Structure formats: structure tokens, C-alpha cells
Amino acid sequence: MSEVSQPMFPISRPRRLRRTAQIRAMLRETELTPTDFIYPVFVRPGAGIRQPITSMPGISQWSVDRLVEEAAEAFELGVPAVMLFGIPEHKDPMGSENFAPDGIVQQAIRALKQAVPELVVMTDVCLCEYTDHGHCGVLNEGIQSQLPHGAILNDPTLDILSKVAVSHAQAGADLVAPSGMMDGMVKAIRAGLDEAGYDQVAILSYAIKYASGFYGPFREAAESPPKFGDRKSHQMDPANAREALREAALDIQEGADILMVKPALPYLDILQRVSQTYPHLPLAAYNVSGEYAMLKAAAANGWLEERTVVLEALTGIKRAGAELILTYHAKEAAHWLKEG
């Protein structure tokens, strides 16, 4: 039997199905809801603190007490989860406060789980906010002669990442999210969690994280710019796509429960490729600080209508394949969606 040939003339006029708001709503293929969002938040030592971040209008660093109020407000709007980033009181070459029982993120986890028990608490697992050099791992300082001085040592970094993840789990975190793009990080963290009895704590891996120029405002917010060099030795080249699938495959093999692509808007093609290649695993996208800041700046200048473009951008991220979206727009977008 030969295939049925397609008619050579139009049998429908698509505009008929766009005629009214009700028809458009009935046929909408992608539905954005507040439950799609994860709200990234920054916590710092102190009390009663809300410290605005200049390059990210509307976003602040919070002390633990004020963070609880902010997270509770987001939860009331329907946002189910937060991602915690910590600004420590003291930094050192190893990022020791990162895995201290009384570290700032550990304090925040306990406070959030006590105040809003149903809130899903996720934690970023990396070293850059905690080290005095601002890099994502332990540096080579004469330890390995074949590496240049100041290069990141992969395996010693894995040991610390495992400790950090376990300390977050002990404090009550629901998911941990390694973001440093170290080889073997998911495997090391999974082993550490399982050995410590936290086999139910899930791993959301920053599996595909590009060396992007869109991270600038975040580095102000997290106080984590590198003191020298850059992060191109471990984050991905923006020109590469096939490599993204390889990175995703490795993290799946190592035990990742959720994959993430970061940034989102410049990498929608990557997001779609990963979604289509690995449909059995949940996929997240990080709508990063620079993406947030550019829409805020354009809206502030009257060049774009903020609500329209934010919801359009977030819908585009979901349409490309993201089931979860980390976004600084989470609270306001949830409010707009509830308004209808």
C-alpha cells in the first residue's frame, strides 16, 4: 500500500481557531503554571536583612529570618520550591563553611522546613561562594606537578562536594544540586548520600552548564567572582551541542534524578535535544540572572511590556522541553498567572 498523498490545497484556515480568547485557551499546547517554578534565593548571615542586588532589580540577599517570610510568600503564590545559595561569613581556600553544621545554608534549610514544611528545599552544591579565590573547586598549589598552579583539582573537589551534600541532607534538604561541572560529581555525591543514610535525597544535576556571559549579575548576588582566570576549563563551550548529550548521558549513568540546562534562553535548542534524547528523566532549565536582568532593564526603560515578555520567555522555555524552571521571575510570574 502506498502512503496516502497529502492534499495540495488548504482544507482549513488556522485563523478560525485563533478567533476568540476562549478558543485559543482551549487549544493552547503549552500551559505555564506556578508549579513549574523553582525560586533561587540568596541567604546571608545576620538578622532582619534584606539587601537589594543592584543588577537584579527586585532580588535581594536575605537573612534567615527574612528569607523564611519571602519563601512563605512564594509558596502561597503556588511556587513549590526554592534553591538556596549561601553567602558565608568567612571564606577560605577549601570553602569550609560550605559543609559546617551551622553554615548559613544549613541554618536556612532548618528554618524553612520548620516554618513551611511542605516547601521543597533544594540546595546549590558548589564551592565558588565559599572559597576565598572564587573558584568552583580545590586549587593546585604544588600538589600535582603536571597541572599549572591554580588549576582546579577534580577529585579532591569531589570529596568536598560529597561532604557538602551530606551536610545539607542532614539539615533537611529535599534535593541537592551540584553545579560545578566536575567530572564524576553526581557519582561521588550519590555515594556519599547513600553511605550516610540519605538515599531518599534526590540529585538535580547542573548536567549542562555553559561558560556563559549571562552569569554576571549572579556573581554580584552570590559574591562569587573568581579572583583570577575564568571557569572555561570546566563549564561548557557555548558553541557545542553534541557535548551536551554526552554530559547528560554521564550524569544519568552516575545516578542523577533530574537534569538541568543552564542558561535557558540562548540554549533552547540544547534543551529540546536533551528532552527528546532522554525523555524518561525530568528536565529543568535555569533562567539565569543575566536573562532576568535584561528583561528588567528593558521594561524599566519602557522598551518592553514586562508581564508579556516574561511570561512569553518562560512559556518558550517550557515549550522547548523544561518541566521545571529556575527563575528569579518566580514570584511575580506566579502572581500574574493567578491573576489570569
Provide the annotated active-site residues: 209, 262
DSSP string, 138-149: EE-SSS-TTS-T
Amino acid found at 41: V
- Asked if 251 contacts 274 with a C-beta cutoff of 8 angstroms, the reply is no
- Residue 332 φ then ψ, to 5°: -70, -40
User: CA–CA distance from 63 to each of 20, 145, 219, 222, 248 (Å)?
Assistant: 47, 42, 18, 13, 35
Half-sphere exposure of 228 (CA within 13 A, CB side): 6
- Strands, DSSP E only, in the chain? 37-43, 50-52, 60-62, 81-86, 120-125, 138-139, 152-153, 175-178, 202-209, 258-262, 283-287, 324-327
**DSSP SS3 for 113:** helix
CB contact at 8 A, 244 and 274: yes
The answer to whether the CB of 94 falls within 8 A of the CB of 87 is no
Residue in this structure with the C-alpha cell 593546585, named with its chain if needed: 140
- Return the amino acid letter for 307: R
